[in-house]
Copies of this chain bind each other. A is one copy, B any other.
Amino acid sequence: MTTMLPPEERTGIPGGTLITKTPEEGRQLAMLIARHTIHQIQPDLDVLKAGRPDYTSDARALTAAGQVVAIEFQTIAAANNYWR
């Protein structure tokens, strides 16, 4: 039996908008969007949990994850006109 992630963990754009009040909230949204994309491709929580310890103790894998967040944040920052 597999434990599927609930639908709210698989929304593409949590909150339904790219507009945020602050850069900090924008960054959190970038992280969330990146994570939910993974959830959409692999919604089985057990598989995700099994991979996590190895993944989060590998500097190269963490760097790759950081790169995805950086790209999502570029989009969000542009959407918010850089909170200027």
Contacts and interface: CB of A to CB of B under 8 A. Distances in A.
Interface string A10-35: 01110011110011101110010110
A45 interface: no
Which of under 10, 10 to 19, 20 to 34, or 35 or more describes the interface residues of A? Answer: 35 or more
A61 B59 contact: yes
Count chain B CB atoms within 10 A of each CB in A66, A69, A73, A82 and give the residue with the most.
Answer: A66
Top 6 closest pairs, chain A to chain B, by CB = A12-B27, A79-B82, A55-B59, A70-B71, A13-B23, A51-B59
Interface of A: 11-13, 16-19, 22-24, 26-28, 31, 33-34, 37-38, 40-42, 47-48, 50-52, 54-75, 77-79, 82-84
